[in-house]
């Protein structure tokens, strides 16, 4: 790997210390989030204390990666050459079934992406890091 920036260089995330288990889980294609053992709420982004009850009894759980679209915005002009290479693309907040929100790319036809639609996580390699991307799923009954 050279040090020259190319069209295909993805910006790499800044990994906050509290969120290290999240980044580690992603490399194995798992979605991890914090959970408070005292008040039982999901905690995200990662904290050293529960924002609900101040407990330090935070543990890591694995998300099932399913949720619904809470908000979305489709980008037509990429902010950098690598992002411009994939326009149009959509980003937004996904409300996970474990009751926390994650900001991520949402894959799919922008005309079909709507608030409340069901999505499921998949993983894409972006530079050195795997990242979660949510894709539309059918709203039919659960298997």
Q: Which residues contribute to the site for Zn ion (CB under 5 A)?
A: 36, 38-39, 50, 52-53, 55
Is the Cβ of residue 45 or residue 52 nearer to Zn ion in the bound state?
A: 52
Is the Cβ of residue 53 or residue 135 nearer to Zn ion in the bound state?
A: 53
User: Least separation, in Å, of the C-beta of 101 and Zn ion?
Assistant: 17
Question: What is the distance between the alpha carbons of residues 135 and 96, in angstroms, rounded to a whole number?
Answer: 13
For residue 66, the cross-strand partners are 120
Q: Are 87 and 79 in contact (CB under 8 A)?
A: no
User: Least separation, in Å, of the C-beta of 55 and Zn ion?
Assistant: 5
Is the Cβ of residue 20 or residue 54 nearer to Zn ion in the bound state?
A: 54
Sorted by sequence, the CB contacts under 8 Å of residue 20 that are 6+ apart come out as none
User: Least separation, in Å, of the C-beta of 34 and Zn ion?
Assistant: 10
């Amino acid at each position: 790997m050279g040090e020259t920036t190319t069209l295909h260089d993805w910006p790499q995330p800044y990994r906050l210390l509290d969120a290290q288990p999240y980044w580690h889980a992603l490399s194995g294609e798992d979605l991890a989030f914090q959970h408070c053992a005292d008040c039982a709420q999901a905690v995200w982004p990662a904290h050293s204390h529960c924002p609900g009850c101040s407990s330090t009894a935070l543990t890591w759980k694995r998300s099932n990666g399913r949720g619904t679209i809470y908000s979305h915005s489709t980008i037509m002009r990429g902010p950098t050459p690598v992002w411009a290479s994939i326009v149009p693309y959509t980003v937004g907040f996904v409300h996970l079934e474990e009751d926390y929100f994650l900001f991520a790319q949402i894959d799919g036809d922008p005309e079909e992406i709507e608030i409340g639609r069901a999505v499921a996580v998949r993983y894409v390699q972006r530079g050195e890091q795997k990242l979660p991307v949510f894709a539309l799923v059918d709203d039919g009954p659960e298997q």
